[in-house]
Amino acid sequence: MDHKPVLTDKVMQYLDPQPGKIIIDGTLDGCGHSQEISKRLQGNGLIIGIEIDKDLVKQAIKKNIRGLIVEKNNYKNMKEVIAKHNIRSVDGVLLDFGMSSWHLEESGRGFSFQRNEPLDMRFSHEEEKTAASIINSLPENDLADIFQQYGEERHARKIAHAIVATRKHERIIQTQQLVEIVRRCTPRAFFRTHSTTKIFQALRIAVNDELNNVRAGIQAAMEVVKPGGRVVAISFHSLEDRIVKSAFRTWGAVLTKKGVSASRAEQLLNPRSRSARLRAWENKS
């Protein structure tokens, strides 16, 4: 499946990649943004592309994009990653958080509630925690907190209770087992898809420790850009956006006072862009 990068024009406007610049793309995925950055570097400059998922890393290497070095790592380690290449600071960092369309459609790891796949949801195979291990081992209150905090799901407690009751007689290991439990706990059919989406999103955030990564990643990004350099971050969840917004306010200059959303035209073309919010920051020291 072709992954459409979101808000590409705005990313280019704020990141402003020019020949000779060094840019970190901390969330490489299908290289949509990196491809565009590469064009603008015109063969003179460097993109350090970081991706946590080894399958996506392999795909990115195969694309052979001019000026792109692909590194399998967590973006929160970007300082160590660039140090390997004897680089101490860069002109720009892009962080486009969350999962890839490939995760949802092709990974077979249980990101989509519309399929019946093992409940895995890990971006990185090295992590021990899977969606199934969380679902089958966490105390009821902790499960409910995950659904409430990361999914803002109103039936969080009821769903956590039903999970704990179910797992007494069967292990919950497939996506459709979880879908069925959520369905039973959501009285109004109209809200079922909405609730299931939120429960799956909350689990994915917990499995991949996404909010802690966002916190550490945005911090690292602000520290590695040179004076005059920029950080551009795209969030798909209000909690991520809040972390970015408050980090950008601590020092330097916020370039996007309100955050930038996709145009109507882009939203129609790429529904995933509807929840995207871009913020940009400049190192003014």
Q: Which is nearer to ligand SAM, 121 or 160 (CB)?
A: 121
92 is annotated as contributing to ligand binding: no
For residue 142, the minimal CB distance to ligand SAM (Å) is 22
Residue in the shown chain whose Cβ atom is closest to ligand SAM: 32
DSSP per-residue letters across 10-36: HHHHHH---TT-EEEES--TT-HHHHH
Q: Is 150 annotated as a binding residue?
A: no
Give the residues lining the site for ligand SAM (CB under 6 A): 3, 5, 26-27, 29-33, 50-53, 56, 74-75, 96, 98-100, 123, 213
Name residues whose C-beta falls within 8 Å of residue 66's C-beta, 6 or more positions apart in sequence. 38, 41, 43
Number of H helices, E strands in the chain: 13, 7
| Tokens representing residue 41 in the block | 């570097």
Residue pair 90/82 in contact (Cβ under 8 Å)? The answer is: yes
Give 22 or 47: the residue with its C-beta nearer to ligand SAM: 47
CB of 219 to ligand SAM, least distance (A): 13
- Closest approach of ligand SAM to the CB of residue 65, in Å: 11
185 in a known ligand binding site: no
Q: What stretches of 42-100 show up as alpha helix (H) in DSSP?
A: 54-63, 78-83
Q: Is 32 annotated as a binding residue?
A: yes
Q: Which of 232, 223, 240 is nearest to 275 (CA)?
A: 240
User: What residue numbers does the annotated binding site cover?
Assistant: 31-33, 51, 75, 96, 103
Detail the residues annotated as belonging to a binding site for S-adenosyl-L-methionine: 31-33, 51, 75, 96, 103
